[in-house]
Amino acid sequence: MAKRVAIIGAGMGGLAAAIRLRLMGFEVEVFEKNGQAGGRVGRLQENGFTFDTGPTLLLMTDVYRSLFAAAGRDLDEEIDLVNLDPNYRVHFGDGDSIQVSSSLPALIPELERIEPGVTPRFYRFMQDACLKYRLGRSEFVERDFEKARDFFGPRNLRLLLKTRAVNNYYRSVSKFFKTEKLRQTFSFQTMYLGLSPFEAPAVYALLPYTELAEDGLWFPRGGMYELVEAMVRLARDFGVNINLNSPVEEIVVAEGRARGVRVNGEEVGADAVLANADLPYVYRKLLPRSAGEGDFRWKLRKREKLLYTASSFMLYLGLDRQLDHMSHHNVYLSARYRENFEQIFSERRLPDDPSFYTNVPSRTDKNAAPPGMEALYVLVPTPHLGENVDWERESGPFKERVYDLLEKKANIPNIRRHVVYEKVKTPVDWLADYNLEEGAAFGIGHGIFQVGYFRPPLASKTVRGVYFVGASTRPGTGVPLVTIGAKLAAERIGRDLGRSPVTRKVAGTNNAGVS
């Protein structure tokens, strides 16, 4: 009989792992607490408006193409991918802006306008970022370091020195650009991962590189959730059973080994359990109290000693006017760029002059809003939950500050008069909706002792048969990395349970589906 794997959570990691495990011949059942699959890659549809609720930038499409190709499918036949170029417009604190494009003939004049003579240094930056991307991805991101010597071997240490991957990101960028504006243009991308460029490792130079040179920036027509729906269809076609509105109450452990999960008071047996729920939540709420003692002696049990990513304040707005002056993606940087990050990450309070990001999907996909209207997604990086911000008291006033920013910096006059639909999301909601510890929207952070081998591993060291996938485990946060992590986790389960990590196509069935 085929061995069974129970997966907790139908986020991107859970779905990707479910597909790969099923292709390896396992029986796979997924249990999702919410009413829709996708986790943080969610969808909101109200009053004719459609919003992605979480990630909105699609990078590194080869990761998803590989997943679908393993099942004999073509990603381009499953979703309609639109290449976005220009990528986005970055607005600086003084009112100036730069349009960032993957087309060098369009980008270079923009760079030269801001910093004359920068072109040779920009090419050196891209060369350095390419090295970090190539070596970082193949030697660190796409590897499962089961033992310390796998990570700290002489070859890896030489590569770390060669790429300077663990250097400070902002200082690394500053070596190539003299003006603060271009330093900001090529460092703000860490906000995609809830990190400060002043604290993040230099390896994240791979982010602007992937946008500009490797694969570009993409938009699935219909929104990022189209990718989720395509993955759900693929999983169903191959017999994965996905149970929605089915929160797992505990991981059943006997004699130091996972035996299944308990859902709605009933035990569902399994040979392995893969947790796509946030890793700290799994240890604190789903495993026996003693289970985490040997796994992460370095801090996991002490919430206050973990480093977390930022959270975010979200506005999903339906406007009864169009925003012809805005791009699909728009970034508005604080005039006090460094101070903005210090207030979020060091002082852990709401920034006085916030940077923020807007997404206007209806600029590309007219079906995202009713005719003559616009869907506007607003993300403001904020601290994760803590004693310095009382969201019950601060949510209303902070929302009004964001509206003021949209009027002043995004040039949407009298915006409040044009709002016909509004939904607010705070760090409290990130905690409630997805069990993200401290409401940290991107999981645990990527400090020097929370990356690589030091990041929580894919397999529990104390409870056999328990595995992890998601932003808070290896290789790290961000949708592409989580999807890569799903492949690593599936291969690890295959090795441990005696199945080849080489995928193979199995007979499809349409009997199992979403319930």
Give the catalytic positions in this structure. 211
**What are the residues whose beta carbons fall under 8 Å from the beta carbon of 383, sequence distance 6 or more?**
310, 311, 344, 345, 348, 349, 350, 389, 427
Q: Is residue 429 a contact partner of residue 260, using CB atoms and an 8 Å limit?
A: no
Alpha-carbon dihedral angle through residues 301, 302, 305, 307, given to the nearest 10 degrees:
50
Q: Is residue 378 a contact partner of residue 361, using CB atoms and an 8 Å limit?
A: no
- The Cα–Cα gap between 106 and 122 comes to 14
Beta strands in 240-367 (DSSP E): 241-243, 248-254, 257-263, 266-269, 272-275, 311-319, 329-332, 356-359
Q: How many CB atoms lie within 10 A of CB 433?
A: 17
Residue with tokens 């207030």: 343
- The Cα–Cα gap between 363 and 323 comes to 8
Distance of CA 330 to the CA centre of its chain: 18
Total length of the chain: 515
Q: Is residue 429 a contact partner of residue 441, using CB atoms and an 8 Å limit?
A: no
- The Cα–Cα gap between 261 and 249 comes to 7
Q: Is residue 473 a contact partner of residue 2, using CB atoms and an 8 Å limit?
A: no
- The Cα–Cα gap between 383 and 381 comes to 7
Alpha-carbon dihedral angle through residues 334, 339, 342, 344, given to the nearest 10 degrees:
-40
Q: Is residue 224 a contact partner of residue 52, using CB atoms and an 8 Å limit?
A: yes
- The Cα–Cα gap between 3 and 44 comes to 36
What is the token pair recorded at 260?
């299944």
Beta strand 81-84 with 311-319: parallel, antiparallel or unpaired? unpaired
Q: Is residue 268 a contact partner of residue 29, using CB atoms and an 8 Å limit?
A: yes
- The Cα–Cα gap between 136 and 359 comes to 29
10 Å CB burial of residue 475 (0-12, 13-18, 19+) is buried
**What are the residues whose beta carbons fall under 8 Å from the beta carbon of 482, sequence distance 6 or more?**
11, 12, 13, 16, 469, 470, 471
